[in-house]
Amino acid sequence: MSTVFEFPKIHAFPPLYTKQPNLTILHNQLESWGEIILSYCQHYKITSLSLQGAILHTQLNDVDINEVPPLFENRNINRSVSDDFKAMIFKHLIHKLHRAEYINPKQPEAGILIYWKTLVEWANILHDFVERTGQLGSVLTVYELTKLEDSGVDEDLKDLDYNLLVRILKGVLIKQGRAQILMNEDGTQIGGVKIV
């Protein structure tokens, strides 16, 4: 398993866990939580979380989700963040920092994609991998882009969350004219990807 994430000192500061009434302090508090979430998710290569802060997807196969320290709780000081305050923190991450978005905006309870790399950074990694491996213009499956062991999949792309891949393709590469997608027969999943 990867090393245990070392929370910043502020994670042991009891007032961090309660929504502060002063707007300036609240803004700083939300910014601190944003930094903690992004660092934590990058450390464990977490690409999606539940609204409660539980891990929905990590790219690391050797991580036991039950052994990862909880994000919104510090047992040493007996503090945890309320669900209402978590919702506010996630809204700040989504709407102010633009480093997250709901997996399904119509069903927020489905969870949140966390962008510890921006979508543009992810798109560049994906495009560079396809170009480096001489596959520009070829139709590739999602499996070939994120799972296939002998394809030399970039470490950053290995076991990438399908929902994140869709955002990278539709939100960046297709808009830039650098990708096309082919849907499967029932139109629910991506059947193939052509990066140009």
For 103-150, what is each residue's pLDDT tens digit? 999 999 999 999 999 999 999 999 999 999 899 999 998 888 887 666
Q: Is the pLDDT of residue 25 over 70?
A: yes
- Mean pLDDT confidence for 1-27: 92
Q: Which two tokens stand for residue 11?
A: 């994670």
Instruction: Determine the Cα–Cα distance for residues 119 and 133; give it in Å rounded to an integer.
Output: 21
Give the residue among 149, 158, 157 at the shortest CA–CA distance from 128.
157
Q: Is the pLDDT of residue 9 over 90?
A: yes
Half-sphere exposure for 139 (CA within 13 Å, toward CB) = 7
Instruction: Determine the Cα–Cα distance for residues 18 and 10; give it in Å rounded to an integer.
Output: 13
Q: Is the pLDDT of residue 52 over 60?
A: yes
Residue-range domains of the chain with CATH:
9-114 (1.10.10.570), 119-195 (1.10.10.10)
Q: Is the pLDDT of residue 58 over 90?
A: yes
For 164-182, what is each residue's pLDDT tens digit? 999 999 999 999 999 999 9
Q: What is the pLDDT of residue 148?
A: 63
Instruction: Determine the Cα–Cα distance for residues 11 and 121; give it in Å rounded to an integer.
Output: 28
Q: What is the pLDDT of residue 11?
A: 95
Instruction: Determine the Cα–Cα distance for residues 18 and 44; give it in Å rounded to an integer.
Output: 25
Q: Is the pLDDT of residue 191 over 90?
A: no
Instruction: Determine the Cα–Cα distance for residues 40 and 114; give it in Å rounded to an integer.
Output: 10
pTM for this predicted structure = 0.92
**With contact defined as beta carbons under 8 Å apart, do 32 and 24 qualify?**
no
For 62-99, what is each residue's pLDDT tens digit? 888 888 999 999 999 999 999 999 999 999 999 999 99
- Mean pLDDT confidence for 150-168: 84
Q: What is the pLDDT of residue 2?
A: 62
